[in-house]
Amino acid sequence: MNKFSFIALLFLFVMWGAPAAYANEKIMCKILTIEASNSNIGIDEKLGEYTKLFKMEPFSAYNSFKLINTEKVELLKGVETELKLGDNLNGTLKYSGLQLNHLVLSLNLLRADKPPVVIEGKALPGTPFLAAGLKSGNGRFVIAVKCQN
């Protein structure tokens, strides 16, 4: 291989590799704040895609799921993004990159007079990452994070 062929091959590699690397630098996420309770109102129709999940443990302990807030954000790799989750619940979400085709996410839920709750996990693109347990007015909050790269 001569010097020109090597440089041309290197140029093609860099040009074709750059879009793939750039694609992993940011993702779009939809964050749902849901209240799980036993208020006998059933599952909010806007949460239809989560019905199967809500029938499994630990969610099956509740009979009602109400959508409180929806937020869409673009996350840049390595940057914490502030979230307004509704019902005076705030936090941050951070995307740390891809690991074996899974999105690596860190959700920090802020609480008054208490340390934040930090949930770290991995999810396939398009698959929800769920965090639950913080007390709400009538039950518990469930935060669903669904991202696409």
pLDDT tens digit sequence for 83-105: 999 888 899 999 999 999 999 99
The reply to whether 118 falls in a domain is: yes
The reply to whether 19 falls in a domain is: no
Residue labelled with tokens 């690991």: 99
Distance separating alpha carbons of residues 45 and 59, to the nearest angstrom: 17
- pLDDT at residue number 111: 82
* Contact status, residue 8 vs residue 16, Cβ threshold 8 Å: no
- pLDDT at residue number 88: 85
* Count of structural domains within the chain: 1
Q: Answer whether residue 14 shows pLDDT above 70.
A: no
Note the pTM of the prediction, 2 decimals. Answer: 0.81
The reply to whether 138 falls in a domain is: yes
- pLDDT at residue number 77: 96
Q: Which of 36 and 19 is assigned the larger pLDDT?
A: 36
The reply to whether 33 falls in a domain is: yes
- If 0-12 CB within 10 Å is exposed, 13-18 middle and 19+ buried, where does residue 15 land? exposed
The reply to whether 144 falls in a domain is: yes
Nearest to 35 by CA among 71, 105, 80, 87: 87
- pLDDT at residue number 101: 93
Confidence at 113, pLDDT banded by 50, 70, 90 = confident
Going across the sheet that includes 90-99, the strands are 80-84, 90-99, 102-111, 114-123
The reply to whether 79 falls in a domain is: yes
The reply to whether 17 falls in a domain is: no
Instruction: Retrieve residue 9's tokens.
Output: 């091959």
- pLDDT at residue number 112: 80
Instruction: Retrieve residue 46's tokens.
Output: 């806007």
Give the number of other Cβ atoms within 10 Å of residue 19's Cβ.
8
pLDDT in tens, 26-71: 999 999 999 999 999 999 999 999 999 999 999 999 999 999 999 9
- pLDDT at residue number 114: 86
> Which helix or strand (DSSP H or E) is residue 12 part of?
helix 3-23
Host domain of residue 127: 25-148
- pLDDT at residue number 24: 59
* Percentages (nearest 5) of helix, strand, coil residues in the chain: 25, 50, 25
The reply to whether 13 falls in a domain is: no
Distance separating alpha carbons of residues 54 and 59, to the nearest angstrom: 5
